[in-house]
Amino acid sequence: MAIPYRVQNPTTNEIVESFDFITDDELDNAVATAHKAFGTWSVASLEDRAAVLHKVADLFDAQRDELSKIIAEEMGKSLPEGDAEINDVVDIFNYYADHGAELLADEPLETTGGAAVVRKVPLGVIVGVMPWNYPYYQVARFVAPTLMAGNTVLLKHAEICPRSSQKIQEIIEEAGAPEGVFINIYADHDQIETLIGDKRVQGVSLTGSERAGRSVAATAGKNLKKAVLELGGTDPYVILDTDDVAESAKVAWEKRISNTGQACTSNKRIIVMEDIYDDFVKEMVRIAESYTKGDPMNPQEGQYFPLSSRTAAENLVKQVQSAVEAGATLHTGGEQVGDGAYFTPAVLTGIPVGSDPYYEEFFGPVAEIYKVSSDEEAIELANDSNHGLSGAVFSTDEERAKKVANRIETGMIHVNIPQARGAELPFGGVKNSGFGRELGPLGIEEFVNKQRYYVAE
């Protein structure tokens, strides 16, 4: 039996509230409503769509305290991190409201015998299947450009995010979007498969696991539907040299502990040159052991918070144990604590390259550190991954860092910064990290018909 939608507080594992799955009849009605809404929303002016998006941004900004508390209880995000997530959401909706018209403008083509342009025409109803780790931000990345382009949206959020997903619908409706432009649905996985096959649905965007991605991609392919997939990563974080090992370790740790390590673009494989490796590992262990268990509703400096669920914590413990059995060294942490979803921050070294654990994504506060002796070895190790989402390269010699970064096989790569952020920067990966792009000018082009429009002389 499928697990219903619920608010299950990860600090205690207590189920606070449950929500019924949508019925098949209710789902069909939701599709019909979204399809009908497309008829009016798709021909609304860009100015009118932008006004709604601006209002959405304003409402998220005004309600940030309530919104942060909702996800703190749903998936354990600390209130400051929840507040920071709202900042990203506000930026994304404002970005597409401000730049949508220029991003969707016709592109003239040189031709003879007539006038030709490429138009960016909305497709129709688009399904979003979104994850729990950033309950608002992940949705905003998909929804803002999709709505600005003139499509309508059906959102199937994670089963542990029922309140936040419904809150998004309430905000979009309050912002003035017509009924059916955005509908939150508590659907199960079988219903999503049916939904993708519905002729009124024109595409699907999924952020989630590889297994979910393969399933959605197969269904989309079978039904000839457009799909965008963002499926996580094992991002390389290469430190070629540093003038300050302690500071480099601090920066690396802050990146790894962000969102309790539950981010697709976390620095999951930290690759360090051998002359600074021992000192770096020692400092990472010291930092990890300095952290204490905290309450996401009352966070303090130097605290770690629960994972999204007790199951997630238990699975991460098994992954760490599997790595140790394969030959890795666990320096500290790696234990599930209490009745909730707390997992003590861990430092792992020596996971054998080529082993099963080496290729896995550790979705939590586990710092995996690898030693290399040359730039070439660092590049080889960085690219020895089934994923290709993001990555970073650090050196006091910028040219050296750029040469290494130029050869790393990812959708996003950074030099001397853990990760650049901004609504204007495209997001997406290669290999098993998926395909398609979100955010920036590329994000608004995923769910449009790039139509050739030709008028004869």
Task: Inform me whether the pLDDT recorded for 3 exceeds 90.
Answer: no
Quick one: 273 exposed, middle or buried, by C-beta within 10 A (0-12, 13-18, 19+)? buried
Q: How many CA atoms lie within 13 A of 335 on its CB side?
A: 8
DSSP 67: H
Q: How many CA atoms lie within 13 A of 147 on its CB side?
A: 38
pTM strictly above 0.95: yes
Whether residues 353 and 397 fall in one domain:
yes
Q: For residue 152, list its beta bridge partners.
A: 125
248 falls within a domain: yes
Task: Inform me whether the pLDDT recorded for 1 exceeds 70.
Answer: no
pLDDT number for residue 399: 98
User: How distant is the alpha carbon of residue 310 from its chain centre?
Assistant: 21
- Structural domain for 282, as ranges: 236-422
Among candidates 180, 185, 193, 144, which has minimal Cα distance to 161? 185
Residue 230 is a catalytic residue: yes
378 falls within a domain: yes
Q: First vs last Cα of the chain: how many Å apart?
A: 63
For residue range 148-199, list pLDDT tens digits in order.
Answer: 999 999 999 999 999 999 999 999 999 999 999 999 999 999 999 999 999 9
Residue 161 is a catalytic residue: no
CATH number, domain containing residue 263: 3.40.309.10
301 falls within a domain: yes
The total number of structural domains in the chain stands at 2
Q: How many CB atoms lie within 10 A of CB 278?
A: 12
Q: Which of 73, 74, 85, 230 is catalytic?
A: 230
For residue range 265-320, list pLDDT tens digits in order.
Answer: 999 999 999 999 999 999 999 999 999 999 999 999 999 999 999 999 999 999 99
Task: Inform me whether the pLDDT recorded for 16 exceeds 60.
Answer: yes
**What secondary structure, in 3-state letters, does 188-204 show?**
CHHHHHHHHHCCCEEEE
Helix or strand run (H / E) with residue 81: helix 79-103
- Please say whether the beta carbons of 158 and 189 come within 8 A: no
244 falls within a domain: yes
Q: Which of 74, 264, 368, 438 is catalytic?
A: 264
427 falls within a domain: no
